[in-house]
Amino acid sequence: MVKKFPAQVFLNRELGQLEFNRRVLAQAESASIPLLERLKYLCIVSSNLDEFFEIRVAGLKEQISLAGVPAGPDGMDALQTFRLVREQTHQIIAQQYRVLNDAILPALELEGIRFLRRTKWNDAQRAWVKEFFFNEVMPVLTPIGLDPSHPFPRVLNKSLNFAVELQGKDAFGRNTAKAIVQAPRVLPRTILLPPEIGGCEHGFVFLSSILHAHVGELFGGMEVLSCHQFRVTRNSNLFVDDEEVKNLRTSLQGELPHRHFGNAVRLEVTDNCSPQVAEYLLQQFELGPEDLYRVDGPVNLVRLMGIPGQVTRDDLKFQPFAPGVPTVLQKKGADIFKVIRKGDILLHHPFQSFKPVIDFIQQAAADPHVVAIKQTVYRTGVDSELMEALIAATRHGKEVTVVVELLARFDEEANINWASRLEEVGAHVVYGVVGHKTHAKMLMVVRREDGKLRRYVHLGTGNYHPRTARLYTDFGLFTANEEICADANEVFAQLTSLGKARKLRHLWQSPFSLHSQILSAIRNETRIAKTGKPAHIIAKMNALLEPETIMTLYEASQAGVKVDLIVRGVCALRPGVPGLSDNIRVRSVIGRFLEHTRIFYFRNNLAHNVYLASADWMDRNFFRRIEVCFPVLDKKLKRRVLEEGLKKYLQDNCQAWDMDADGHFRQKTLRRAAPRCAQAVLLQELASQLNQV
C-alpha cells in the first residue's frame, strides 16, 4: 500500500532540476571564473537541458497523453508541471543566450578569440570559407527537396538541420518550394581559421554560417528565399518489457536505434525564423506552439564545449593539477595487496588519483596468486584501462565475473560492446537483475595466500570511469576487512545466482535494507534528541526525493535533531519551515568539479557513524536499483570523510548556495569572513598544483 503524505510539504522534482541549472548558469555569469571555463558552464546548461527534455519532459508529455496519471508527491499533475517547466525553461534559455552574446563572446573577442559573423567576413575570409565549403562540406551533404516523392526526412535527435525556402523550377521542371539540409555529424560545428585569414590567433566560424552563406550552391538555378537552422529533441527513454524480455542484450540492441527517432518533445529555431517556417516544422514533428523554443544564436551550444580544447590559453582556464596519491601507495612497485592488508585505504577523487584503482586491477590481472576477479560496471567509457585489464585477466586464466548494467542511460552501447569483448575471451558476463539497475560500485579480488583464499574489495561512490574521476568528486575505499568482503561477496552472489537475500553484517543494500536502515538511523537520532542529548545528521547526495525519508527528517527536526543536507541537485524537502523543518538546512555546492559523493553521518551518541554509498535518497535508488552503502570503520579515515567530505562543504562561503522553503537558492556571500572554498582547499591539501605554461 502506497503511503500518502501532505502535498504541501514537498517541492516539485522538475522545477528543482531547473533550479539546479540556474546555479550552473550562474557559474557562466561569474567573472571570478576563468573565461573559457565560463563557456564550458554555458555548454553544460545546454547539455543538462537536452537530457531534461529527452527524459523528464518526455515523461511529462507521456503522462499528459495518457491522462488519469496520479499527481506527484507535491500535488501537481503532469500538465501543471509541464506549463511551469515551459515558462521557467524559456527564462533560463533567454538568460543563457544573453550571457553568451553580451558577456562571454565580447570578453573572448578581447582575448583574441573570435567567432566571425558572415555579415562581417572580409574578402579573404569569404574566399577561404568558400573553398572550405566546396572541399569539406558540400561533398557530404544530401539536400532533400520536399515533394510527394521526397517526403519530410527522418531527423535525428539533436542534429543540426536547415529548412530552406526556394523559388523557381529545378532541372525536372518541379516547383519545389521547400527543402531540408541535414548537417552530417562528421562535420565540426565550429571551424578554426588560419590566423592569417581569421585576423587573430583563434578565429572561428560556425558551420551554420558556412551553410547559410553557400546553401544556394545546393540548389542550382533556384532562388533561396530563406534558410533557417533548427534542431529537434526527442524522447530518449528506452522501453524494455521486463516481463516479455528473454535476452536483455538482444532486446536492447534492437531498441537502441529507435532512440534517435523517438517522439519529438522540443523544437529549437533561431529567433529570426519566420512564423510560417516554424509552424511548418511544428506540424512535421507533431508538436504544438508550446514546444517551440526560439534562441538568439546557434541552436546547439553544446558544440561549443570543444572550443577550450582548441584554444591554447591556459590563463583562461582552471589551473591544472596532478591528483595526489596516498603515502602508503607512493613507493614504486609497491604490492598493493600487502598495503591493503595493513589497513584500509581511502581515495578522494579527483583530488587524489584514480590510478591506484587501475593499478589494483592490473596487478590482480598479472598476479599468479589471484584466482578470481568480480566487478560491477555501470559507466566506464568507450576506452577503459580497467576493462582492458579484466580482459587480460581472463586471458591469464583468472575467473573473471563482470556484472554489466546494460541500461545505464546513454552508456548502453559502450556497455554492450564491453560485454561482447569480455564474453569473447571467456569472462562470465551477467546483466544483473531485470527490473533493477545494478548501480552499486564494487570490485573484488580473490587471492590465494598461505594456502587459503583471501578477499580484497574496492567500494566506491562513483563509477569506474577514469575520465569522470578527474571531473567528479567521489570516495573509494580499499579494504580487506573479512566481514565487509563477505558482504560484498554475498551481493555478487545475488547478482549472478538465485536465492534469498541473506542478512549482511555491514553493508546496507537496495532494494532490501538500505531504505529501512536509513529510516532507522534517522529515527535513532530522533530518540536521542527526545532524551535531551545532542543529535546531528549530515547527509550529502545528488538528490533527495523519497517522501517517507523526507517525512522522517521532518520528524527528526521537530524533535530537535540538527540536520545539515548538502544536495547538489534536486531536493523535494522544504527546509526552515516553522514547526516543520526549523532545524533543517539545505545547501548546494556548485564548483569546478561535479559534486557526486554520497555521505551519510549520524552522531549516534558520539559513535559518529559514517557511511559512503552509491545511492541518493530517491525512490529509484531505494526500491528499483541494486545499491550498496558501506561504513567507514577506520577512525582516521572516518575523520577524513567528516572533514573533507562534509565539514569543509558546510563551511564553504564561495561556491555554496543556501535553499529556502520555496526551493529557491541564494548564493552564500563572503561579507567580512575569509573566503573558504571547499574544492580549492581540497586541491591544495590533497593534490599538486602544476605551474601554467
Convert the pLDDT of each residue in 484-508 to its tens digit.
999 999 999 998 887 677 889 999 9
Nearest-5° angle of CA 406, CA 356, CA 611? 70
pLDDT digits (tens, 9 = 90+) for 594-615: 999 999 999 999 999 999 999 9
Measured CA to CA, the distance from residue 660 to residue 586 in angstroms comes to 8
pLDDT at residue 429, rounded to an integer: 87
At 222, the pLDDT band (50, 70, 90 cuts) reads: confident
**Catalytic residue status for 214:** no
> Is residue 304 located within the same domain as residue 329?
no
Question: Residue 693 — very low, low, confident or very high, per pLDDT cuts 50/70/90?
Answer: very low
Residue 298: CATH number of its domain: 3.30.1840.10
Question: Is the peptide bond prior to 575 cis by the omega test (within 30 degrees of 0)?
Answer: no
Q: Is residue 423 part of a domain?
A: yes
Q: What is the pLDDT of residues 257-290, one digit of tens each?
A: 555 668 999 999 999 999 999 999 999 999 999 9
pLDDT of residue 261: 66
> Are 536 and 629 members of one domain?
yes
pLDDT at 308 exceeding the cut of 70: yes
Domain count, the chain: 3
For 365-419, the pLDDT digits (tens) are 999 999 999 999 888 877 788 889 999 999 999 999 999 887 656 567 777 788 8
Note whether residue 20 is domain-resident.
Answer: yes
* Cα separations in angstroms, 468 against 97, 345, 474: 27, 21, 10
Helix or strand or coil: residue 638? helix
According to the model, what pLDDT value does residue 433 have? 77
Residues spanned by the domain of 646: 509-689
Does residue 601 form part of some domain? yes
The reported pLDDT for the residue numbered 523 is: 98
Q: Looking at the predicted structure, is the pLDDT value of residue 246 above 50?
A: no
Q: Confirm whether 2 is domain-assigned.
A: no
Please check the confidence at residue 524 and state whether its pLDDT lies above 60.
yes
Task: Please check whether residues 176 and 307 belong to one and the same domain.
Answer: yes
Residues 489, 528, single domain; the answer is no
Same domain (yes/no): 135, 246: yes
β-strand pairing of 599-602 with 178-182? unpaired
Which whole number is the average pLDDT over 123-137?
A: 96
What percent of the chain has a predicted confidence (pLDDT) above 70?
Answer: 93
Which residue is catalytic, options 228, 349, 436, 439?
A: 439
Same domain, 134 and 185: yes
Are residue 543 and residue 671 in the same domain, yes or no? yes
Same domain, 590 and 620: yes
The values of phi and psi at residue 389, to 5°, are -65, -40
Q: At which of 462, 477, 501 does a domain end?
A: 501
Model confidence band, residue 241 (pLDDT cutoffs 50, 70, 90):
very low
Burial 296-320 (b: 16+ CB within 10 A, else e): ebbbbbbbbbebbeebebeebbbee
Q: What is the pLDDT of residue 59?
A: 93
Q: φ and ψ at 404, to 5 degrees? A: -100, 125
Determine, yes or no, domain membership for 1.
Answer: no
Each residue of 45-88: pLDDT tens digit?
Answer: 999 999 999 999 999 999 998 877 788 899 999 999 999 999 99
Q: What is the mean pLDDT of the chain?
A: 91
pTM of the entire predicted model:
0.92
Residues 287, 357: one domain? no
* Whether 462 and 515 share a structural domain: no
Residue 346 near residue 479, CB atoms below 8 Å: no
Tell me, yes or no, whether 491 and 519 share the same domain: no
Is the pLDDT at 243 greater than 50? The verdict is no
Better pLDDT: 148 or 441: 441
Task: Tell me: do 223 and 95 sit in the same domain.
Answer: yes
Candidate from 145-149, 341-345, 547-551 with smallest mean pLDDT: 145-149
Q: What is the pLDDT of residues 643-656, one digit of tens each?
A: 999 999 999 999 99
Of the listed ranges 231-245, 510-524, 570-584, 618-632, the least confidently predicted one is 231-245
DSSP letter at 304? Answer: G
Q: Which of 501, 523, 543 is the last residue of a domain?
A: 501
Q: Which of 477, 501, 525 is the last residue of a domain?
A: 501
Reduced to 3 states, what is the DSSP secondary structure of residue 181? strand
